[in-house]
Amino acid sequence: MSGYFTEDIGAQELQERTAVATDIAEAVRTLIADTVLTEVDASAAATAIEHIEAAAEILRSRQLPDDSFGVRFNTDGTKRTWGNAVIGTRNPIAPPLDVVFDDDGLAWAEFEMGPAYEGPAGLVHGGILAAILDQILGSAAEHAGAPGMTGTLTIRYRQGTKLGKVRAEARLDRVEGVKSIAVGRISTAEGTTAEAEGIFILPRWARESGAADKIRKALSDG
Ligand SMILES: CCCCC/C=C\C/C=C\C/C=C\C/C=C/CCCC(=O)SCCNC(=O)CCNC(=O)[C@H](O)C(C)(C)COP(=O)(O)OP(=O)(O)OC[C@H]1O[C@@H](n2cnc3c(N)ncnc32)[C@H](O)[C@@H]1OP(=O)(O)O
C-alpha cells in the first residue's frame, strides 16, 4: 500500500521539524478563524489576500513531492501522521487532537472548537464531530493493538455541542476476528453530546502483508 513510509530521523531533527510544523499550522489555524470572523472592507481584504498569497508562495518554494504527507514510521518506533485531518500536527484544519492514552485503555483529548467548526448556530458541525469520533475510536483500537480502517461508524447525537472546550474519549470494547469494536463519546461542560460505536477492520491487504504488526508497534506522534 503506497503512502506508508519508514524514515530515520534523529531526535533533535524531529523536535525541530515538529516545532516548525506546529507553528505554521497554528498560524494558519488562527488565520482560518480570523477569516470566518472578519468584517473588514474590500480594500483591506485585498491587502490581506496579497499577504496570504505571499506567505503561500514561501511555503510552496519547498514542498513534498507527493500530494499527501502519508503515514511515516520512524526508526525510533514513533509514527507521524502530520497530514491527518483530525490529529495532524501539520494540518491547520485539524483542531488538532493531542490524544492521551491512559493505562486503563482510555484514549482522550481535550481541545478547542473555534468558529471554523460551526454547523448550527454556535454549535459544532455534526460531520466534524463524526470525524473526531472516527479518529479517537480508531486511535483507541490501534493503541490497544487492534488497528483497522473504519468499516462502520454509528453516532447518536444527544444534544448540541457548543463551540468552545470539547472533550473526546474512546476505548476498545472488543475484538471479533479481524474486527475491532470501539466505543466513545464527545462531551462539553453540559455533559455528553454524542455517543459512538465504530467497527474497525484490519484490511485484507494488511492481514496478508503482515503490515499490521508494524502499525501495532508504532507509537503515534500526531
Ligand atoms: C504499513 C502498515 C499499514 C497497516 C494498516 C492497518 C490498519 C489501518 C490503518 C490505520 C488505522 C489506524 C489508525 C487510524 C485511526 C483512525 C481513524 C481514521 C480512520 C479512517 O478514516 S479510515 C477511512 C474510512 N474507511 C475506509 O476508507 C474503509 C474503506 N473500506 C475498506 O477498505 C474495506 O471495505 C474494509 C477494510 C472496511 C473491509 O474490507 P476487507 O476486504 O478487509 O473485508 P472482508 O470482506 O475480508 O471482511 C472482513 C470482516 O469485516 C466485515 N465487514 C466488511 N466490511 C464491513 C463494514 N464496512 N462494516 C462492518 N463490517 C464489515 C465482514 O463482514 C467480515 O466479517 P466476518 O469476519 O465476521 O465475516
Looking at the structure of the chain, the number of domains it has is 2
What does the pLDDT read at residue 93?
Answer: 97
Domain around 212: 97-220
Q: Compute CA distances 177 → 53, 71, 152, 203, 207, whole Å.
A: 50, 25, 16, 12, 11
Co-location of 91 and 102 in the same domain: no
Co-location of 203 and 110 in the same domain: yes
The CB of 214 under 6 Å from ligand 1? The reply is: yes
Of 60, 81, 96, the residue that ends a domain is 96
- Report ipTM for this prediction: 0.92
Q: Mean pLDDT in the chain? A: 94
Of 39, 68, 96, the residue that ends a domain is 96
Query: Which positions ≥6 away from 150 have C-beta within 8 Å?
Result: 134, 138, 198, 199, 200
How close is the Cα of 130 to the center of ligand 1, in Å? 17
Co-location of 111 and 89 in the same domain: no
Co-location of 146 and 62 in the same domain: no
The CB of 154 under 6 Å from ligand 1? The reply is: no
Co-location of 35 and 125 in the same domain: no
Integer Cα distance of 135 and 118 in angstroms: 19
Q: Is the confidence at residue 208, as pLDDT, over 70?
A: yes
Co-location of 104 and 206 in the same domain: yes
Of 96, 113, 136, the residue that ends a domain is 96
The CB of 149 under 6 Å from ligand 1? The reply is: yes
Integer Cα distance of 98 and 173 in angstroms: 22
Q: What is the pLDDT of residues 10-20, one digit of tens each?
A: 999 999 999 99
What does the pLDDT read at residue 214?
Answer: 65
